[in-house]
Chains A and B, each alone.
Chain A
């Protein structure tokens, strides 16, 4: 997602209503790796991932232990989905 807008931690908290500690927890748990890791700035992918994790935890009752497993499976699903669409186009 190069070239997209990026946001500082304070902006992410303000715009999307994430608690500061929640975002830090997600980064420290390696669930979210900021698009710009040294400056700690987040892009659209990071924000969508933060929102997904919040939904999983607060609305669907998923605990911390299950989060990395679900994220991994979703990334696997998305990779295969995009790759298969690409493969189908080229095979048609």
Chain B
């Protein structure tokens, strides 16, 4: 307990017990009064907080036979006792709109209407509302438990084929999550009744798992298209070729036209990411964009070098000029 012991008083008097009281009587007296004066049951009451500190201090002194013996023979530590860590009382953390626990209670409750209906007339219709009072606030019968939200990272490939995953929640509960084909980034999967337990016979809350899609290595996602930088040889660039290109669903054959240059983009339709078509509303897949990149051999072929040496005079060009850029 984060309590500073108050100025030493007679703990027996503070707790309202005789000096001859048994340990059980002392504990019961402490519990009875502590429940009454606990700051979390009297939020904001300095008197209750002071009284509670007195009680806690007294109980520290005589709450166990060992401490009580020390106190009775005058051998006790009068220094304020403090448990590790410190920090506010719980109610002190629940004072603002950002308080997660108490504000989650208020979801679906219009506090403005509630107080207006309870006190509006008593204040002479302070907000200008006249007429009969509304019925008092909603009665709290069985209540649904808290909903819980989590995020789950999913490989893009799994959104194409669909997959089933087991996930373990912080509570230790295991959920079997079926990733449906075509699930979109940010989609939330709902698991009814898997959240916090209900109260007074109410149903359990739900679990929501938000899907965060991750593109595979080497691929870059741009909207619904997937971009892949793809190396080709000088010969393939000049002469054209048919090459095997990886997609997220395995390899496909693709034709590289003759005279292709670095930076040229070739499109493989329907091998991108699912997205919702704005016209039809259907889920359709984008494309894979293959970005060509000419790569020279690591060690230069002497015959190639000789050929270039032979043809270079009279055939030089400036790749940094506008003309050469537009030629690509």
Contact = CB atoms under 8 A, between A and B. Distances in A.
Specify whether A and B are partners. Answer: yes
Interface of A: 1-2, 15-17, 24, 27-28, 30, 33-35, 37-38, 40, 44-45, 47-49, 51-52, 55, 59-61, 68-69, 71-72, 74-84, 86-87, 91
A72 B87 CA distance: 22
B126 interface: yes
A49 B87 contact: no
Is chain A's interface secondary structure helix, strand, loop, or mixed overall?
A: helix
Contact of B99 (A52, A61, A68, A78): A78
Interface in B2-47: 2, 30-31, 34-35, 38, 40-41, 43-44
Contact of B197 (A15, A30, A35): A30
Contact of B148 (A33, A52, A87): A33
A37 B146 contact: no
A51 B92 CA distance: 13
B115 A87 contact: yes
A15 B84 contact: yes
Contact of B40 (A16, A45, A74): A74
Interface string B90-115: 11111110111111111001011011
B218 interface: no
Contacts of A60: 31, 34-35, 38
B31 A76 contact: no
Given A37-B148, A60-B35, A48 B93 contact: yes
A28 B148 CA distance: 13
Contact of A44 (B88, B103, B105, B171): B88
A88 to B, nearest CB: 8
A47 B86 CA distance: 10
A87 B169 CA distance: 38
Given A33-B148, A49-B90, A91-B126, A28 B106 contact: no
A30 B88 contact: no
Nearest to B103: A79
A28 B171 contact: yes
A82 B196 contact: no
B123 interface: yes
Nearest to A32: B101
A75 B102 contact: yes
Interface residues of B, number: 60
B96 A82 contact: yes
Contacts of B235: none
Nearest to B100: A45
Nearest to A2: B98
B87 A47 contact: yes
B1 interface: yes
Given A16-B84, A30-B146, A83 B111 contact: yes
Interface in B115-140: 115-116, 119, 123, 126-127, 140
A83 B94 CA distance: 11
B297 interface: no
20 contacts: A1-B98, A15-B85, A17-B83, A17-B85, A27-B171, A28-B171, A30-B196, A33-B170, A37-B149, A38-B151, A47-B87, A51-B85, A77-B41, A77-B43, A78-B94, A78-B102, A79-B111, A83-B111, A83-B115, A91-B123
B34 A59 contact: yes
